[in-house]
Structure 1
Amino acid sequence: MTATLDSAAVAQYLADHPRFFEEHAGLLGDVRLSSPLTGKTVSLQERQMEVMRAKYNALELRMAELVRTATDNTTILNNFHAWHLALLRSQGGAAMARDLVDGLVAHFGVPQATLRLWNVAAEHADAPFAAGVTEDARLFAASLRVPYCGPNKDFEAVRWLDDPAAVRSTVLLPLVADGKTFGLLVLGSPDTERFSPVMATDFLVQLGQSASTALAQLRA
């Protein structure tokens, strides 16, 4: 009595006997399969070539994606470096706040940027960055454990920008020193996708840390 083989048993047999098609090479041309690409019937060899081409194309796309990501990361790193150099060249004091914001616009192409600091030293009390901030805005800044990156939800901080009505997406970076929040850095763009909630915030965290260190000297 002949046992009936199911497809799983056949597949297991071929897996256990990898030299089967070497020993029965004639079957390679006789076995006919339906191609999902053309809808036509092709030989096992042709189907294998289609599978290999599909894998190769997938690898090419993945490689292109990796190259694009590496290029983007290099651009960000270069811009970050240029921004740091601008901070090192700054005269310090009140000029540091201006140079920091101008550097973000110049090196990162941010359409709008500004900042506010509170509890600043007396000599900076009349500086633009020390303009009034409500208690709600301070509490909001202190509540941010990571930078906010996403749509503008009519934040008070966005109204500090030159043209808040044009802002569709924003980044809000808390400025922290000695465990205390002493300011907020605000970036704005008319592009809804420029600052998206799905963006990784690792770079923004580092940017906030650099800004906090540079501006901490302005505190009281």
Structure 2
Amino acid sequence: MTAATLDSTAVAQYLVDHPQFFVEHAALLGEVKLSSPLTGRTVSLQERQMEVMRDKYRALELRLSELVRHAEENAAIANRFHGWTRQLLRTRAHADIPSAVADGLVEHFIVPQATLRLWKLPAEHADAWYTNGVSEDVRLFASSLRAPYCGPNKEFEAVGWLAGAEPAGADTVRSTVLLPLRTGASAFGLLVLGSPDPDRFSAAMATDFLVHIGETASTALAPLLG
């Protein structure tokens, strides 16, 4: 290789192919001078290598901190889900299960408002709070949901079911979650979560965990179908 054809790429490849180069020429480590992007001053190859290693270490620290944060958040969610599930399992009377589902979400997940409505139930439930005020439009809407709705309150009729909420479109509920309750492909109810915070339930939220809530609630409530 001649000086005319020697370029930075060739030098770099040569050093990769000859890892013993700086062992054989250790004196160069102190003589090669580089410009530091951190301080702007000229540093030795050894100093520059230390800067690179520190940058990598800081990046790893940040990544580890992020992983720890996610792990703590997941653990907190798992504990809340566990507490809610235990509450459902302790509820023996079928007529008490709807309240256990909704109140448990408020208690364990710190959801501002939660309620639900059911249909296709035997006549003995006709006068219960959880079967009142369900229109055919709501039933069709629930059946059309193939995934949880999570986002702004678009004047949904079901939002009017929430305790303390005025008719659909009330300003007190700015964001909401709508979860269909199903046995197989058939919807027999709708679970509604609401918040005055427009960012509490956003369209950007992951819905995997909401799906689990819907499935668990559906399983707990299925005995009411008779």
Q: Structures share a fold, TM > 0.5?
A: yes
Match of 1:106 in 2: 107
* TM-score of the aligned structures, taking structure 2 as reference length: 0.91
Match of 2:118 in 1: 117
Match of 1:55 in 2: 56
> Which letter maps to 2:6?
L
| Whole-Å separation in 1 of the counterparts to 2:158 and 2:171 | 12
| Whole-Å separation in 2 of the counterparts to 1:192 and 1:169 | 5
- Helix, strand or coil for the counterpart of 1:165? coil
1:33 deviation in Å?
Answer: 1.7
Q: 1:59 to 1:2 in 2, by over 3 A?
A: closer
* 178, 199, 209: which one aligns with 1:172: 178
- Helix, strand or coil for the counterpart of 1:166? coil
1:193 aligns with 2:194: no
* 1:9-28 equivalence runs, <5 A: 9-28=10-29
| Whole-Å separation in 1 of the counterparts to 2:196 and 2:39 | 45
| Structure 1: gaps (5+ residues) | none
1:2 deviation in Å?
Answer: 4.2
| Whole-Å separation in 2 of the counterparts to 1:147 and 1:52 | 45
1:117 deviation in Å?
Answer: 1.0
Q: Quick check: 67-76 or 34-43, which moved more?
A: 34-43
| Whole-Å separation in 1 of the counterparts to 2:219 and 2:3 | 81
1:87 deviation in Å?
Answer: 0.8
| Structure 2: gaps (5+ residues) | none
Match of 2:156 in 1: 155
1:13 deviation in Å?
Answer: 0.6
1:87 aligns with 2:88: yes
- Helix, strand or coil for the counterpart of 1:196? coil
1:204 deviation in Å?
Answer: 1.1
| Whole-Å separation in 2 of the counterparts to 1:201 and 1:128 | 28
| TM-superposition CA deviations, 1:196-219 (whole Å, max 9, x none) | 222222211111111001111222
* 1:6-45 equivalence runs, <5 A: 6-45=7-46
Match of 1:204 in 2: 210
1:183 deviation in Å?
Answer: 0.7
- Helix, strand or coil for the counterpart of 1:153? coil
> Which letter maps to 1:8?
T
Identity, % of aligned positions: 67
Match of 1:3 in 2: 4
| TM-superposition CA deviations, 1:63-95 (whole Å, max 9, x none) | 111111111111111111111111111132221
**Following superposition, which runs of at least 4 residues in structure 1 exceed 4 angstroms of deviation?**
none
| TM-superposition CA deviations, 1:174-215 (whole Å, max 9, x none) | 000132101110111122332222222221111111100111
> Which letter maps to 1:179?
A
> Which letter maps to 2:94?
G
1:218 aligns with 2:219: no
| Whole-Å separation in 2 of the counterparts to 1:193 and 1:65 | 22
| Whole-Å separation in 1 of the counterparts to 2:31 and 2:156 | 70
| TM-superposition CA deviations, 1:26-66 (whole Å, max 9, x none) | 22122222222222222211111111111111111111111
| Whole-Å separation in 1 of the counterparts to 2:138 and 2:3 | 81
